[in-house]
Amino acid sequence: MTTSHEIPTLLTERGLAERNYDVVIGLDEVGRGALAGPVMVGAVAVRSARLSDLDIIAGVADSKLLSANRREAMLGDLEEWSDAWAVGAASNTEIDEFGIMHALGMAALRALTDVQAHMAFDARASRPSICAILDGPYDYITRVVDSFDAPELQYPVDVITQIKADQHCATVSSASVIAKVTRDHMMTSLARSEEAYAAYGWDRNKGYGSAAHREAIARLGPSPLHRVSWHLS
């Protein structure tokens, strides 16, 4: 079941198309506040030429407003709806070494790199003009573009930020759902396949700081996938 919420639209995306962007990419993060596992950023790209008559997948919304079953049910439709999608990740060790904001930028750039690779741009055509809509007030992508360890984008991307874009922009909402399902699957798989991780209950808490998770850390100590620079107990 969903809570009452606004239905995302493509108004922002269509506005960017009117500004002559060839591709619009929605971006959203998941796992920022977790104690264990990676942070991930989902990216969903749509060619501007499709936006004038593109229908939105029914029920799509910010992933936090949807049940796990609803997210799972729409995943395939969202992947097919986009022209390309990807989920980039930054590990817990990268978060510990560089900080969460740098790690978010790295994850986003990895997602953007994968999206561009899957877009199959015509090499004979002029360079595509690409704009990314990033949920929230802060552009954590541009600040790491020129860092020593940043993946190199094939084509430059202009980034705009929008507060609550995950609720208002259909591409960002779609990216939110895809990233959430991807990370949840990973954390659940780790908990169920590795005995060393099972005690932390990641199949239930997905690495976030539930009481049971914190109790397990206090009892067993952190695992290799915990963010040891964070307050874990």
Alpha-carbon gap, residue 116 to 124, rounded angstroms? 16
Check whether 149 is labelled as a binding-site residue.
no
Per-domain boundaries in the chain: 11-186
Helix axes 68-81, 170-193, angle to 10 degrees: 120
From first to last of its 233 residues, the chain has per-residue pLDDT tens of 344 467 899 999 999 999 999 999 999 999 999 999 999 999 999 999 999 999 999 989 888 889 999 999 999 999 999 999 999 999 999 999 999 999 999 999 999 999 999 998 766 678 899 999 999 999 999 989 888 778 889 999 999 999 999 999 999 999 999 999 999 999 999 999 999 999 999 999 999 999 999 999 999 999 999 999 988 87
Q: Identify the CA nearest to 22 among candidates 124, 97, 130, 98.
A: 130
pTM over 0.85: yes
- Whose structure tokens read 């969460």? 100
For the chain, helix (H) and strand (E) counts, in that order, are 9, 5
Residues 87 and 43: beta-carbon distance below 8 Å: yes
- 78 CB-near residues (< 8 Å, 6+ apart): 44, 57, 60, 85, 174, 177, 178
Structural Rg of the chain based on CA atoms: 18
159, β-bridge pairs: 132
Alpha-carbon gap, residue 174 to 141, rounded angstroms? 19
Check whether 29 is labelled as a binding-site residue.
yes
Check whether 158 is labelled as a binding-site residue.
no
- 66 CB-near residues (< 8 Å, 6+ apart): 2, 59, 177
8-state DSSP, 60 = -
CATH code for residues 11-186: 3.30.420.10
